Structure 1
Amino acid sequence: MKTRLIIPLLTAGVFCSLYAFKNNPSDRSTDPPTTDANNAGLKLPAEFGALIVADSIGKARHIVVTKEGNLYVKLAKPVKEKGIIYLKDKNGDGRMDEHTGFGNYGGTGLYLKDNILYASSNDEVFSYKLNESDEVLDQNNPSKLITKLKKGRQHDTKSIVLDNSGNIYVNIGAYSNSCQEKDRTPGSPGIKGCPILDSAGGIWQFKANKLNQSYGDGVRYATGIRNVVGLDWNQQNNSLFVMQHGRDQLNGLWPDLYDEKQSALLPAECLYMLKKGDNAGWPYVYYDQYQKKNIQAPEYGGDGKKEGSKEYINPALAFPGHLAPNGLLFYTGNQFPEKYRNGAFIAFHGSWNRTPEKQEGFYVVFAPFKDGQPTGEWEIFADGFAGTDNVMSPRDAKHRPCGLAQGPDGSLYVTDDVKGTVYRILYKGK
């Protein structure tokens, strides 16, 4: 009789558990999801796996993950009048099965801090309060924090990040390649004093809780930075890090000084640690990763060898030219092995300016850090986004990584702004 009594009790317990799971989404399974058989087409280190969690959502740029494991993704251009996509995993299988959206504006910047979602268009920054379920309370009425930012035909995206003291940092890209009198014209000299730097070509600091700010309310935190898409706040040394897109067309504009090979490889794509008042030197210098120094720009009297002024800062890390870094994330999770803790992941989007050489990028790299400083050589972490090893034009790439985010379990999320794919990378080892 005891056995007969126990079995029904156990069966009832299982039935109740299944019923609760079905009717209470908060009781979803916490087991890691099953990765795709081919790791979503990605090449990863041993014991890592990947899956596609969403697809065809639009030109996906930056991304954030909520504490519930749901996603907000910023689109470069709105789809059906929705520029921010909300993706929710309702059944706990790791794949997003509910797609909604709001925010009728395109852009790149997206950041989540203290239950407030920050998003940028190409000339403004907004904020949205979230409820306890990580859902936006009032989708149609965001707070407008910053407005009337300079934008041009090039480098108009406004990437954003917050520090721990109530400040928000906004990239305002230079609407020029190298501040020539005639932009991108062979032999045209640089404009003395480069007036662009008054309102662009740097990082501006504003208050994260003040409405309707513009230049007069903010601080030009750092200058001489051509354009930044990927940026993050390093929690170990409490500093801002940014990835600069280096200048183009050294050979096309100055063929007597640079051959095609040099132009394809120079200048470096630079990771800068920025302090208030720093000047990285654009347009007067560029960083040469082979000579390991700032070189005076040809528009301002340089010859490819003449060293630039010592007033300009050097990068923390230098990468090959024309890879187009669009995402930067310092990893603070516990899922990945110890070597990844506090290191930097960088998403390289791929560019067009390595012609006639084969295009490079289209991958995510990892650079180890300790105490907020790089400690070793960087390595390719996730490759295969392009779908081919022979990319002669960016149009050849099937996917181009852009945004990076860390999930509450320590997973790494990567967006693609060609087909609107969102990847999730997990560690499957012990």
Structure 2
Amino acid sequence: MFKTAHESFDLRPKLFFLLIAIFAISACKEKQEKSEKAVVLNISPDNEGINVPDGFGVIKVADSLGAPRHIAVNSNGGIYLKLRKPIDGEGIIYLEDQDGDGIADAKKGFADYGGTGMYLDKNYLYASSDEEIFRYKLDASGEVTNTNAPDTLVDKLVSYRTHATKSFTMDGDGNIYVNIGAYSNACQETDRTLGSPGVMPCSILDSAGGIWQFRADKMKQSYAEGKRYATGLRNVVGLDWNFKLNKLVVTQHGRDQLNTLYPDLFDQKTSANLPAETMYVINEGDDAGWPYIYYDQFQNKKILSPEYGGDGKKTAGENAIDPIATFPAHMAPNDLLFYNGEQFPEEYKNGAFIAFHGSWNRAPEKQKGYMVAFVPFKNGEPSGEWQVFADGFAGLEEVSSPSEAEHRPTGLAQGPDGSLYVSDDAGGTLFRIVYGKK
């Protein structure tokens, strides 16, 4: 006996499963739409008063943070900030944005020491005091697990009142490069004193005024376990390892007070505009020439320092390296970041962002800096003139004294999405600059 067509091809089960599939797809789509709505970034309508190029926006991630210096951002977007001075026994702050709007809504802290330097790799958070480099183990989500018991990698570094902070970076091969700033303006017999001659040779250079290299897998290294990688650098607060070049790149704070110390050789205007702030590519063994020379960006020459017989015209430093880029005097480049993200337009790829903290000794001229600059790079070297990228941090058009500035850029970090974070140690604010977000 044969079955009818109706009996042989019952469509009801197929219709049932089809309806379930349609319902599941609809639910998935609704969930995705809700998720997309939830991650809309809360970009400030006025960009927090900061001027950025067309297409960019600014988010105020957090404020009232104290004096945040350098920054590190983990792969989940969690943000570590090093405070110059601890607040309530916490010198490192960890911020999280849990709802995806760009504004931090969770905060905790640890580490009872101040400082500036901070670095993050896949396994560890590294942070510096003015005498030590510490290492904290990270868990799978990029959070520190041993907040009360970090490893001490380096200790007993020279630390005096002048240029005490220890900025550092790493090269991906387990080497740490630490700036040990010179505790002097120009290595005079009596620092910052009218007419005091320079010490020859400068005794400071045995333990400061350069970059020292240490290992990331050894404990409690001192000068004896490390090595002086480069010398003749007055104070390098901004430094980064350029992985395209596979070399260290630094930005130096130039010397101060040419007019104050040598009024017969330099007038106030000249002193306000000299010497250049400089960027160097550093190879092991390099000497950048401090304190014996400074770089004059108008003459494009290395000039003999007056403490050592210079008159503003005599050249010197034939064996000292030349800068790869120069900037106006006294703007204080406090951090350097080579951008390798995908969010910003192609022109920014592999270029250098620099956080300029702002000047203090250009009087009676107006102070300068208080902004983030950008230097385009191609084939491992600058491919054009430096440009202002983000300005207006000071909150006023003319700055007579740094105490007037509302914000002073100090640290830079790249987020996992390619956005740029900027810390401010005057207003205690953390900014995030994004591109193409509505």
TM-score, normalising length from structure 1?
0.95
Once the two structures are superposed, the pairs formed by residues 41-120 of structure 1 within 5 Å of their partners are 41-120=49-128
Distance in structure 1 (CA, Å) of the matches to 2:274 and 2:65: 34
Once the two structures are superposed, the pairs formed by residues 24-423 of structure 1 within 5 Å of their partners are 31=39, 33-423=41-431
Deviation at residue 15 of structure 1 after TM alignment: 10
Moved over 6 A (4+): 1-4, 27-30
**CA distance change for structure 1 residues 315 and 32 in 2, over 3 Å: closer, same or farther?**
farther
Distance in structure 1 (CA, Å) of the matches to 2:254 and 2:138: 37
Distance in structure 2 (CA, Å) of the matches to 1:316 and 1:85: 35
Letter in 2 for 1:375: S
SS of residue paired to 1:144: strand
**CA distance change for structure 1 residues 414 and 175 in 2, over 3 Å: closer, same or farther?**
same
Deviation at residue 91 of structure 1 after TM alignment: 1.3
SS of residue paired to 1:264: helix
Distance in structure 2 (CA, Å) of the matches to 1:246 and 1:229: 11
Deviation at residue 351 of structure 1 after TM alignment: 1.8
Distance in structure 1 (CA, Å) of the matches to 2:216 and 2:377: 28
**CA distance change for structure 1 residues 384 and 212 in 2, over 3 Å: closer, same or farther?**
same
SS of residue paired to 1:278: coil
User: 1:405, 1:414 within 8 Å by CA — same for their partners in 2?
Assistant: yes
Distance in structure 2 (CA, Å) of the matches to 1:390 and 1:6: 66
**CA distance change for structure 1 residues 16 and 30 in 2, over 3 Å: closer, same or farther?**
closer
SS of residue paired to 1:228: coil
Deviation at residue 46 of structure 1 after TM alignment: 0.7
Letter in 1 for 2:118: L
**CA distance change for structure 1 residues 337 and 364 in 2, over 3 Å: closer, same or farther?**
same
Distance in structure 2 (CA, Å) of the matches to 1:72 and 1:146: 20
Letter in 2 for 1:9: F
Match of 2:23 in 1: 9
Distance in structure 2 (CA, Å) of the matches to 1:272 and 1:123: 25
**CA distance change for structure 1 residues 304 and 175 in 2, over 3 Å: closer, same or farther?**
same
Distance in structure 2 (CA, Å) of the matches to 1:44 and 1:6: 50
- State the aligned residue count: 424
User: 1:367, 1:374 within 8 Å by CA — same for their partners in 2?
Assistant: yes
Deviation at residue 309 of structure 1 after TM alignment: 2.4
Letter in 2 for 1:148: K
Letter in 1 for 2:278: C
Distance in structure 1 (CA, Å) of the matches to 2:26 and 2:383: 56
Deviation at residue 407 of structure 1 after TM alignment: 0.6
**CA distance change for structure 1 residues 9 and 353 in 2, over 3 Å: closer, same or farther?**
same
Report which of the two structures shows the higher radius of gyration computed on alpha carbons. 2
The one-character-per-residue Cα deviations of 1:24-64 (angstroms, maximum 9, x if unpaired) are: xxx89785513110012110101111110111111010001
Distance in structure 2 (CA, Å) of the matches to 1:153 and 1:123: 12
TM-align CA RMSD: 2.2
SS of residue paired to 1:251: helix
**CA distance change for structure 1 residues 95 and 264 in 2, over 3 Å: closer, same or farther?**
same
Deviation at residue 94 of structure 1 after TM alignment: 1.4
User: 1:28, 1:91 within 8 Å by CA — same for their partners in 2?
Assistant: no
The one-character-per-residue Cα deviations of 1:364-388 (angstroms, maximum 9, x if unpaired) are: 0000001211111010000010000
Instruction: Tell me if 1:426 matches 2:403.
Output: no
User: 2:57, 2:437 within 8 Å by CA — same for their partners in 1?
Assistant: no
Letter in 1 for 2:284: K
Distance in structure 1 (CA, Å) of the matches to 2:322 and 2:25: 67
Deviation at residue 149 of structure 1 after TM alignment: 0.1
Distance in structure 2 (CA, Å) of the matches to 1:428 and 1:28: 15
Deviation at residue 113 of structure 1 after TM alignment: 1.4
Distance in structure 2 (CA, Å) of the matches to 1:291 and 1:190: 23
Distance in structure 2 (CA, Å) of the matches to 1:341 and 1:5: 48
Distance in structure 2 (CA, Å) of the matches to 1:63 and 1:376: 27
Deviation at residue 327 of structure 1 after TM alignment: 1.0
Deviation at residue 12 of structure 1 after TM alignment: 8.1
SS of residue paired to 1:216: coil
User: 2:396, 2:405 within 8 Å by CA — same for their partners in 1?
Assistant: yes
Distance in structure 2 (CA, Å) of the matches to 1:314 and 1:12: 63
Distance in structure 1 (CA, Å) of the matches to 2:322 and 2:74: 35
Distance in structure 2 (CA, Å) of the matches to 1:297 and 1:314: 16
User: 1:287, 1:293 within 8 Å by CA — same for their partners in 2?
Assistant: yes
User: 2:294, 2:303 within 8 Å by CA — same for their partners in 1?
Assistant: yes
Letter in 2 for 1:94: G
